[in-house]
Copies of this chain bind each other. A is one copy, B any other.
C-alpha cells in the first residue's frame, strides 16, 4: 500500500528549491514574519484560492498571474498584515512586493507569487518589507524550509511541515509542503496558507487539475469554525528537477503523483485542523455508503463542523444523536432507516435506531484519544495570550515554538457514518469546540 516514504526537508526536500524565513519587523511581536520559497528554474505553478467575495490583494494578484502564465519561480509570504480590505493602495503594495523580490532575485516580477496573512484592513509595512527582502534572498538555502515554516505562522501553536518521496522509473520524486493554520487569535486573523513544492515534470493543466482535486479532499474538508478567510491560498510548484519523464496525461505515473500530492495536502490539512483555536483533539469523520464521493464529503464536512458535535467531543460525550442530526441537515438525501454511526470501535446506531453501548467506555475512548495528542501546557498558554497584545504589553513570549513538539495527527477521534449502500466515500477533519475557542476570539481590550 505505501507508495511513498516520509522524508525530512519540507518544501526544500524536492530538488531545486531553496527557502528562507527572517524577521523583517512586520509583526509587532518581533517573531519571524517574511518567508521565501524559490525554485532554481521556472516551475509549473497551480493555485487554489479563497472563494470569498472579500479577497486580499495578493489573492487577486496570484489569480491573475496564474491565468496569464501557469509557471512561477518564487513565492513571497508576509505575516502580520493581511492586506485585505485595503483598496487600491493594497493592490499597489502587492505589485511593489513582487517587483522588489523580482529585482533582488534577478527574475521577472511576473514569476513572483505573493501571499499575506495577518490583520484585515492593515497595509503591509512596506518599509520593513523593502529592507527585509535583500536579507531574505541572502538567507535562502536548500535547508531553509523550517525557517520559512516559522515565518508564515501567525499564532499557530506549532509549524506544519511534511515531505514525501516515491520512485518513478529509477529516480526519486519528492513533494514537500508547509502550511499555516487557523490560529485566529488576533481578531481579524483567519488565514489558511499552504505552499507545496514538487520536483516532478508535469504539464500545467494536469498539475492544476491534480491540485484542485487534492484540495477538495484535504483543505476543503477541514473546518475549525466555518469562517472562510479573505486570504486562503494554496500554491503548488513543480519544477521538473527530478529529471523524470514529463507527465502530460492521466495514467499510472500521474495517479501515483496525484496520490502523493493528496497525501501531502491531507497531512498539512489535518495539522491545521488539529491546531484549531482552543482545540484539544483532532476529529476525523468518515462517511460511506453515499451515492457519490461529493455527497459523502459534504455530509462529513457538516458533521465535522457542527458546533453541537464539537462541543460534545470536548465534553467527552458519545452523543450520537447530534451526529445523526448533523448528517440529516447536510443537504444530502438518504433514508434515515439506513443510518449507521460508529465512534472509534463503539457501534452507536444501526438502521436509524439507537443501539445499547458501553457509554463509559466510549467516553474513555474520547478522553484517551485527546490526551494522546495533547501539547505541553506552556504551548496552550501561549496560544491563549494574544500574540499582538502580549507584545504590546511589553511581555515576551514564554513559549519556544521553534522547538515545540509536533502535534500528533495519526490518532484522531474517529466518527464513522454509513448512509446506505452507495459506493461514495469521503472524509473530513475538524477539532473540538472548547471554552478556549470563545476566550481566544472574544478577548480583545478596546
Contact = CB atoms under 8 A, between A and B. Distances in A.
Nearest to A89: B353
Interface in A387-419: none
A314 interface: yes
A440 to B, nearest CB: 8
A373 interface: no
A328 B51 CA distance: 8
Interface stretch (A168-176, A259-267, A332-340): A332-340
Interface of A: 50-55, 84-87, 119-121, 184, 187-188, 190, 225-230, 305-308, 311-312, 314-322, 324-330, 332-337, 339, 349, 351-354, 359-360, 362-363, 433-435, 437-439, 441-444, 446
B312 A441 contact: yes
Contact of A121 (B230, B306, B321): B321
Contact of A441 (B50, B311, B326, B446): B311
17 contacts: A52-B329, A54-B329, A85-B324, A120-B325, A121-B354, A184-B308, A187-B319, A187-B321, A188-B321, A190-B308, A226-B226, A227-B308, A227-B322, A311-B438, A311-B441, A312-B442, A317-B446
A327 B53 contact: yes
Nearest to A348: B121
A187 B363 CA distance: 14
A306 B227 contact: yes
Contact of A443 (B315, B363, B438): B315
Contacts of A325: 52, 54, 120, 190, 227-230
A277 to B, nearest CB: 10
B328 A54 contact: yes
A225 B307 contact: yes
Contacts of A354: 85, 121
B307 A441 contact: yes
A312 B446 CA distance: 11
A367 B54 CA distance: 28
A377 B53 CA distance: 42
Contacts of A360: 446
A53 B334 contact: yes
A61 to B, nearest CB: 15
Going nearest first, the 9 A-B pairs with the smallest beta carbon separation are A54-B328, A315-B442, A120-B321, A311-B441, A52-B328, A188-B321, A228-B329, A225-B307, A121-B354
A328 B52 CA distance: 5
Contacts of A50: 329
A190 B336 CA distance: 18
Contacts of A228: 325, 328-329
B441 A438 contact: no
Contacts of A332: 53
A336 B55 contact: yes
A318 B363 CA distance: 39
Contacts of A53: 327-330, 332-336
A385 to B, nearest CB: 15
**Most chain B CB atoms below 10 A, which of A84, A317, A325, A328:** A325
A142 B235 CA distance: 67
A49 to B, nearest CB: 12
A352 B56 CA distance: 11
B352 A85 contact: yes
A154 to B, nearest CB: 14
Nearest to A316: B446
B444 A317 contact: yes
A50 to B, nearest CB: 8
Given A188-B319, A325-B52, A336-B55, A359 B438 contact: no
Nearest to A122: B354
Contacts of A190: 308, 322, 325
Nearest to A224: B307
Contacts of A312: 187, 441-442, 444
Contact of A230 (B52, B314, B315, B328): B328
Contacts of A311: 437-438, 441-442
A441 B188 contact: no
B446 A438 contact: no
